[in-house]
A = this chain, B = another copy of it.
Amino acid sequence: MRDLNEENITDAVLERISHAPNRRIRKISEALVRHLHGFIREVEPTEAEWAAGIAFLTATGHRCSAARQEFILLSDTLGVSMLIDAINHRLPGAATETTVFGPFYVDAPEFAAGSDISGYSAGSPMYVSGTVRAVNGAPIGGATVDIWHSDRDGFYDLQRAQERPGTAGRGRFRTDAHGAFHLWTVRPSAYPIANDGPVGKMLAAQGRHPFRPEHIHFMIQASGYRKLVTHLFASGDPYLDSDVVFGVKTSLIRRYEEHLRGPAPGGRTMEGVWFSLEHDFVLAVEAAP
CB-defined contacts of A60 to chain B, threshold 8 Å? 57, 61
A interface residues, tally (CB under 8 Å):
73
Chain B residue with Cβ nearest A202: B29
Given known pairs A58-B61, A58-B71, A62-B62, the reply for A78 and B1 (CB within 8 Å) is no
Chain B residue with Cβ nearest A5: B86
CB distance from A85 to the nearest CB of B (A): 8
* A3 beta carbon closer than 8 Å to chain B: yes
Residues of A participating in the B interface, judged by any CB pair closer than 8 Å: 1-6, 9-10, 12-13, 16-17, 19-22, 25-29, 31-33, 35-47, 49-50, 54, 57-62, 64, 69, 71-72, 75, 78-84, 86-88, 205-208, 240-243, 246, 248-250
Known pairs A4-B82, A26-B206, A46-B88 / 18 extra A-B pairs, C-beta < 8 Å: A2-B240, A2-B241, A2-B248, A9-B86, A19-B206, A20-B205, A25-B205, A31-B42, A33-B79, A35-B35, A37-B79, A37-B80, A40-B83, A47-B88, A50-B75, A54-B71, A58-B61, A61-B71
